[in-house]
Each structure stands twice: as C-alpha cells, then as structure tokens.
Chain A
Amino acid sequence: MPTFFEAKQLVTPGELLAEGEYQAGENTYLEGGKIYASRIGLVDCDNKKVNVVALRAFYAPKVGDIIIGSVKEVGFNGWTIDIKAPYEALLRASDVLGRPFKPQNDELSQVLNSGDLIVAKIASYDRAHDPQLTVGEPGLGKITRGQLMCVIPTKIPRVIGRKGSMISMIKQETGCQIILGVNGVILVTGKNIEDEELAMAAIKKIDEESHTTGLTARVTQLLKDEKAKREENKN
C-alpha cells in the first residue's frame, strides 16, 4: 500500500496518489483501488486520508456555511442571491422580515434591492434544490459599509491560519473587522479606507502565495513595512 507523493507536492488532475489502504479525501477520487487527484493542488496525507488542497476551485454550497452574496433579482416573495457558486441562492421575504410576508403591505425592493450585499447562512441545500439562505442570526444581514474582495474559496482556511493565527494577526495589526465568507468573498470594515486597504493588501498576498511556506512571517513583515511607509508620508 504505497503512496506516490511527497508531502506538499504539487499535483495535477489524474495523478496517481496512493494505492491500497488509503482513503480518498478532498479533491481526490477512488477508482479500481487507486486514489487519484481531481484538481491541481498540494497533496497531504492525514491519518491514511489523502487530501489535495486545491489551488483552483469554485465554491460548492454546504448547509451551515456563512457566505457573502449580492442580490441579483427581487422576486415576488423573496430575492435571488448570487453567491459565487454554480447555483443561485434564494432568500425568502418572511425570513428577512421576521414575520409572514404580505405582498400588499411590504415592498421588497425597499428592504433589499438588486446590487445590495448580504452576509447570510445557507439554511438548506441538496442536489435537487437551489440553496436557501437565512439572515435570522446575529451578525447576518445587509452590509452597510466596508470593502469587499474575492479569493479562491479553498484559500479561506489559509487566510484564517492555524487556529485563527493569521486572521487575528491581521485584525490586530490593522484594527479592521473582517468577515470571511466561505464562498471566497471577504468583507473588510475599518475606521478608515487606509486601514481597510492595508488589510486587503495582506489578504491579497495570502491569496497569491498561499501554497508557499513561511507566509505568516512575510505577511507580518508586509504590514509593518506598509505602516512604516505611511508614517513617513505623514511626516
């Protein structure tokens, strides 16, 4: 039961990863007792489970995920939301209003209009139905301020870092609030635009160099350098 890779090796779709007593994890598949990669990414073996951390992927909805989406269309009794997934999501009017929706009393476009951005949670989703969203929890709902940026969804764990080390470091250094949508959309809200841009530069660096080692140190350095530069400009 051999494996055919070194830890953190870059693999392409179709590459043979392991044979025998191994389990096929993320972005891999099993055929004829052999495990192959199904996406380009970095292989890892964790407790007999072979995983590929994908470098290129799109978001596949999962129940319970917190996502950031934009209103695509105002419908008769709800909204369709673009969540950067293969499927459009639905948000019901009664869920947002917190009471039964009556078309004669409520004008939906005044609550959320097309183009509005929301933080929401996926309430239900399966093969036969488009994902349905909910905003009925604290921290969810319409976004009123801040800046958005998009990264590849598989990189969100890297932005978070080990036990949240990366994200809490960025939050601390820039003083920004950061909401990570599992679908790869990130909301950054700070006291001023400069703080937000600093946080976004750091996240962009993580996105571009996520498959390299020693990243936390380099991001810390980047933030320090940028801060020093700003101080110089002020004086």
Chain B
Amino acid sequence: MNEKTEKLIDKKGIRLDGRKADELRSLKLEVGVLPNADGSAYIEHGKNKILVGVFGPREVHPKHLSRPDRMVVKCRYHMAPFSVPERKSPAPSRREVELGKVIRESLEPALFLELYPRTGIDVFIEVLQADGGSRCASITAAALAIADSGIPMRDLVAACAAGKVEDTVVLDLYDAEDKLGAADVPVAYMPNLNAVTLLQMDGILAPDEFEKAVDMAIDGCKKIYALQKEALKTKYMNVKEEIKEEPEE
C-alpha cells in the first residue's frame, strides 16, 4: 500500500484532491441509458463510474422466494474485474454480497412493497470504476433507475458519506481518504420524508464528531437529491425542447 508520505489535508484545510472539507466530488447523473432494462441509470461520482439496471416487478424465480404479502427486492452489487487497480476476481466476494444486502435495505423503505404481492424486482449494480464511496453512489443511481422503471416510490434515496481525516470531519471521502483516514460514515437519506435509510460507521469517532459527520452527510445527500431530480427531469425536458425548435426549421 501507499506510504503516508503526504498529509491528506494541508494547513489551509484543502484536501489532497483540492476540495474543501464540506465539498462534494463532481457528480454526473444520467437516466435511461439501457434500453433493454425496464429502468436504468448511470452515475459518475468523482472517479466512480457505476451502471444500474432495474427489472420488474415480475414473477419471482425460483418461486419459493416469492412472498404472498409483498414484493421481494433482489439487489446485486458487482464490481467489474477492471474497476480497481489490481484485477478483481469477477466472482461475488463477501464484501459484494454484503453491499448488495445493505443497498437493498436502504432502498426498500422507499418502495411500496405491499402493492404488488408475489412479485419481485431485480436491481443490478455494475461498478465499472471504483474510487471510494461506491455504495453511496450505487444507492443514488439505483434510486434513479427504479424511478425510471416506473415502480412507485415514496421518495428518491440519495446517499453520501462523511468521515474523519487528519482530525477533521470531511464530506464525501474518496479512495485514499477512505483507506488512510480515521473513519467513514455512509448515510442514505430520503429528503422529502426526512428519513435516514442507511447509516454505517467504519472507524472510530467521538460522539460529537459522529453527529457532525451525520449532519454533514445529510447536507450532502440533499445536494445530491437536487441533482437526481434534475437528471430525472432532463430526460423528459429534452423532448419538450425538440418540439419547441421544430417550427424554426
């Protein structure tokens, strides 16, 4: 691993990648990128590049997994072999299975599971490039893909991490900060309902630092939510604009 030669934050409070403590990485969101899926989304969160495809609701196979009173959600988080500097085995690792579960549980509160009993939806998350905070980026994109598929939702879910690096609480950690920093707190949040659907902590934080990190992450989620909304609307605004231009031809 890299030796800790540089400081992660300089005296002015600027991080290694040039951001301030409470600044998000650049974010690009696109909806409806996969015609073969019922719903899809693509996210570039810093150097993370993630594709999400959603199918359903549809019959569950094998049948015994279906539930008579609700819809089941299956979620597969998978990292491409080329997503990290060292080749990653394409077989699902312990970490990926766990992230699939964690992401599923952070999305489920946003869905009306009881509306479509005996059915299931599939969420396929494919990480093309990972750079820290990929579970949060995955949740952000998966929520968009679900909305794009037409599955009714209580709210969009936006996710963002905060953590501690060099005794400072910072927002949206990237790979180096995640690995060398002191703590990482990923948070998923439904802004309109003011509900947290995912809260994890890796590392050690004092209670006041923890609270600050959560508040910071929620603020980050709200910013991401605004971008999500915009991305979703852009897809349909495009059609509107095309028509406005037509008479000029």
A20 on the interface (CB 8 Å rule)?
no
A212 touches B59 (CB 8 A): no
In the assembled complex, the Cα of A10 lies from the Cα of B233 at a distance in Å of 7
B150 touches A56 (CB 8 A): yes
Closest Cβ neighbor of A153 among chain B residues: B150
B147 touches A86 (CB 8 A): no
B46 on the interface (CB 8 Å rule)?
no
B68 on the interface (CB 8 Å rule)?
yes
Q: What's the minimum C-beta distance from A13 to chain B, rounded to whole angstroms?
A: 4
Binds B, one of A36-44, A95-103, A171-179, A223-231: A36-44
Which residue in B57, B119, B149, B155 is a CB contact (below 8 Å) of A56? B149
* Chain B residues positioned under 8 Å from A128 (CB to CB): 68, 117
B156 touches A13 (CB 8 A): yes
Closest Cβ neighbor of B71 among chain A residues: A86
* Chain B residues positioned under 8 Å from A36 (CB to CB): 154-155, 192
Q: What's the minimum C-beta distance from B201 to chain A, rounded to whole angstroms?
A: 26
In the assembled complex, the Cα of A152 lies from the Cα of B39 at a distance in Å of 13
Closest Cβ neighbor of B121 among chain A residues: A86
Chain B CB within 10 Å, residue with most, of A38, A54, A209, A211: A38
Q: Tell me which residues from 1 to 36 in chain A have a Cβ below 8 Å from any Cβ of chain B.
A: 10, 12-16, 27, 29, 31, 36
A211 touches B240 (CB 8 A): yes
* Chain B residues positioned under 8 Å from A38 (CB to CB): 112, 152-154
In the assembled complex, the Cα of A16 lies from the Cα of B232 at a distance in Å of 16
Interface size class of B (residues with CB under 8 A): 35 or more
Q: Tell me which residues from 89 to 148 in chain A have a Cβ below 8 Å from any Cβ of chain B.
A: 127-128
By secondary structure, the B interface counts as mixed
Closest Cβ neighbor of B231 among chain A residues: A12
Q: What's the minimum C-beta distance from A211 to chain B, rounded to whole angstroms?
A: 6
Chain A CB within 10 Å, residue with most, of B38, B150, B239: B150
Q: Tell me which residues from 115 to 166 in chain B have a Cβ below 8 Å from any Cβ of chain A.
A: 116-119, 147-156
In the assembled complex, the Cα of A88 lies from the Cα of B68 at a distance in Å of 15
* Chain B residues positioned under 8 Å from A88 (CB to CB): 59
* Chain B residues positioned under 8 Å from A56 (CB to CB): 39, 147-150
Closest Cβ neighbor of B155 among chain A residues: A14
A57 on the interface (CB 8 Å rule)?
yes
Closest Cβ neighbor of B119 among chain A residues: A86
Given contacts A40-B232, A86-B58, A211-B239, A14 and B116 within 8 Å (CB-CB): no
Closest Cβ neighbor of B117 among chain A residues: A127
Q: What's the minimum C-beta distance from A70 to chain B, rounded to whole angstroms?
A: 15
Chain B CB within 10 Å, residue with most, of A15, A40, A87, A209: A40
B9 on the interface (CB 8 Å rule)?
no
B147 touches A31 (CB 8 A): no
A27 touches B152 (CB 8 A): yes
Closest Cβ neighbor of B246 among chain A residues: A218
Given contacts A87-B118, A209-B243, A14 and B57 within 8 Å (CB-CB): no
In the assembled complex, the Cα of A16 lies from the Cα of B58 at a distance in Å of 29
Q: Which 4 A-B pairs have the closest CB atoms?
A: A14-B155, A56-B150, A13-B153, A86-B57
Other A-B pairs beyond A12-B233, A13-B110, 14, CB < 8 Å: A12-B229, A13-B152, A16-B192, A27-B152, A29-B112, A36-B154, A36-B155, A38-B152, A38-B153, A40-B232, A87-B119, A208-B239, A212-B239, A212-B240
Q: Which residues of A contact B (CB under 8 A)?
A: 10, 12-16, 27, 29, 31, 36, 38-40, 54-58, 60, 86-88, 127-128, 152, 208-209, 211-212, 218
Q: Which residues of B contact A (CB under 8 A)?
A: 38-39, 56-59, 68, 110, 112, 116-119, 147-156, 190-193, 228-229, 232-233, 236-237, 239-240, 243
- 16 residue pairs A–B, Cβ–Cβ below 8 Å: A12-B233, A13-B110, A13-B153, A13-B154, A14-B110, A15-B192, A29-B152, A31-B193, A38-B112, A38-B152, A39-B147, A54-B150, A58-B150, A86-B58, A209-B243, A211-B239
